Structure formats: structure tokens, C-alpha cells
Amino acid sequence: MEKLALLGGKPARDKFLVFGAPDIREAEIKEVVATLKSGWLSTGPRVARFEEDFKSYIGCKHAIALNSCTAGLHLALEIAGIETGDEVITTPLTFTSTANVIIHKGATPIFADVERETGNIDPKEIKRKITKKTKAIIPVHLYGRPCRMDEIMKIAKENSLFVIEDAAHAVEVYYRNKKIGNIGDLTAFSFYATKNVVTGEGGMITTNNDEWARRLRVLRLHGLSKDAWKRYSAEGFTPYDILYPGYKYNMMDIQAALGIYQLKRVEKNLKIREKYFRMYNQAFTEIPEIETPSEEEHIRHARHLYTILLRLERLNCGRNQFAVALQAENIGIGIHFLALHLSSYYKKRFGFKRGDFPNAEYISDRTISLPLSTKLTEEDINDVIEAVRKVIRYYKR
């Protein structure tokens, strides 16, 4: 048997393959340079252009650019009037920011378990968790796969609840021919460095409510009545007023300069992601030690992350040991995600314990995300496949 690199063998590839490498091209670089030369670096004409482009792509009435998806979730809770004593239902299988923003508003995150086959929040579990204190639901479209939004919206309507979609992984996604960003009351997107549309840091919030959009634009920049571009542009100086105690959540033109061209390529890039996704699936489907992502009709998956689940009962190692061995083969990996209710803060604050959300725990204990980026080549994908096979061969029972 071939010796693992972890044990002194030759790695599957010579150069380390970075997980989630951003695909930045010449058009973005030129636009960033032009932005720097323009003298306008903060929120200005390129942010306005990126907002218009994103609004057209999603098909919504309003798109408000921000410095992160987390900011979008926080502002959405503000619009929904969430306050101390309220409850917001969300998933334990997500990045911590989804639940953190609920804490920041003084409300309580109520976790509902996920579907084991998709990793997305289970509508049946949502219904079980609704109380008189429940004010909103935050479904997370995990890995780029949409949640069952028809069922979630029906539950929300029956119980007069806001629906705030965490679409950090889901720019390209459709659910039953409806574009994500047009279904819930408010939707937050991410343009972080590893996302399918990259601005380094950055986010967008979409809505079809005119009044909410007006408030969001004011709240994202200190609660000022006029943003800096309008105050200091050629239109002439206009004094500002403070309408709300707002936040410093605005996007910079430097970020938007990247986003404008990233968004132009998003549909072309999706085809590449789908090809690499198929390559992984074809290679791993017949390996009994691995569970591959399930496929569904009536959706379009963003192919943001490719995750495998290890069948630990067939292996002589745990997930963490497998991950260490794979990285020693020069393959970068991610873990998406560690179940929030088992993290130190949430266990201590709310008394969560193992067994509270068994499906989320099952995925959390077994998941590994493999490199998936349009910057990669087919040769890179084949290197990943061979490295996974190599580690499986060594640890299989």
C-alpha cells in the first residue's frame, strides 16, 4: 500500500492546493486601479453600479451593498423589529455569524435540526420550535442548495413571521423557478474571498419593500440622511441629518470594482463549477466509505461547496485525522460546518448538549469540504480525487 505523506510518503501533488482560492482576473484588476486613480474609494459610483447590476441579476426591486453578509443579517433583524426577549429560529449547521447577529439584537437563537440528506433546516422542525415569542426564521441555503422555501414561507405566513434568508452561499440559486433574493422578506448575500462572487469582504441585502430599502440605505451608513457620495460629489454639498442610530456597514468602491466583473462571469463560472462537481461525484459515488451530495429536482444549486461525508463506521480514523492526512497530501480542505450548539459559547450560554440536534451532529462530525473554484484546473480536481482515494485506501477497514 502506498505510504501516506503524513507518514513520510510522497504527497499526491507537489504544490499545496489552496482551498477556496479566489478567481481574480485582469478586468477586475484594471477596474480597481481605475478606482484608485479616480480618487473615490468609499461608497460611490461603482457601488451604485454594482447594486444596479446585482438587482438586475436577482430580479428584485432593491439591492443594498454592504461590507459583509453578517451586516445584512443584522440589518434585516433591525428591519424586522427584533429585540430583547424575541426568538428567531435558525439552523445549528451554519457559520457562527447567522446566530451571532440574533444575540447582538438581544434575542434568542432557537435551533431547529436539519435534514440529514441536504444539511438544510427541516421545515417540520421549524414548526415544532415556534412559540409566542417567535418573530422570524433565518433559513440558510447551505453549500449553495436552497432550503424548502415553499414550506418555510407557508409556515411563516401562518404564524406571521419574518423570513430572512441567509444566502451567503447562494447567489446563483433558484428554488422552483424562483430566484433566491426574491422569496423571503429580506435576503443577505456574501462576497467573501472564498465565495462564488468575490469582493474580498462584502455583502448585499435584497428586498422588494420600498420603505425597508430606504431605511436600509440610511442604517448602513451611521443613520445619515445623505451618503458621502451625494454630499461631496459634483451635485454640490448638502448638509446631512441623522435619522437613526445607524451602523458603519457600507461597501467601498474598491470592493464594488471587483464585484462588477465577478458578477458578469457568474453564469459562465457556474458551468465550470458544475463540471468539477460532476467529476467529484463520478469519482466518489462508488466508494463505500464516502457519502456524496444528493441531487434534487426543482432547484438550481450554486455549487459553492463540494462536501463529502465520511462513513466513519467503515474507517479506522475520525474526520479530523482524515483531514490532517489529506492536507499532508497538499490538498487544502474546509469544515462546513461544526455544529454551533456544540461550540463553547452556545453550550455554556444555552445549555446545549450532544444529542440535541442529531442530524446536524451527524453531518458536523463527518463533513469535509474539498477544493472547488473556477481558478482550479481539471488536473487540480484529479489530484484531489487521487489524494482522497489514497487516504481512503489507507484508513479503510
Other beta carbons within 10 angstroms of residue 242's beta carbon come to 11
DSSP for residue 131: -
In the chain, the N- to C-terminal Cα span, in Å, equals 14
Q: Which amino acid, residue 305? A: L
Q: CA-CA distance, 192 to 184, in Å (whole number)?
A: 22
Catalytic residue list contains 195:
yes
In the set 135, 179, 195, 390, the catalytic residue is 195
Q: CA-CA distance, 57 to 63, in Å (whole number)?
A: 10
Q: What is the dihedral of CA 236, 237, 241, 244, to 10 degrees?
A: 70
Q: Which string of DSSP letters, residue by residue, matches 112-129?
A: -PBPTTT-SBPHHHHHHH
Identify the CA nearest to 33 among candidates 192, 228, 193, 261.
261
Q: CA-CA distance, 267 to 385, in Å (whole number)?
A: 25
- Backbone φ and ψ for 161, nearest 5 degrees, come out as -110, 145
Q: How many helices (H) and strands (E) does the chain have?
A: 14, 13
Tell me the three cell numbers of residue 382.
Answer: 484529479
Provide the strand spans (E) within 33-77: 62-66
Q: CA-CA distance, 378 to 376, in Å (whole number)?
A: 7
Identify the CA nearest to 87 among candidates 131, 127, 51.
131
Give the CA distances from residue 354 to residues 164, 340, 343, 347, 379, in Å, rounded to whole numbers and listed in that order: 27, 11, 10, 9, 40
Q: Which amino acid, residue 221? A: L
Return the exposure string of 6-33: e unless at least 16 CB atoms fall within 10 Å of the residue's CB, then b: beeeebbbeeebebbbbebeeebeebbe
Residues labelled catalytic: 195
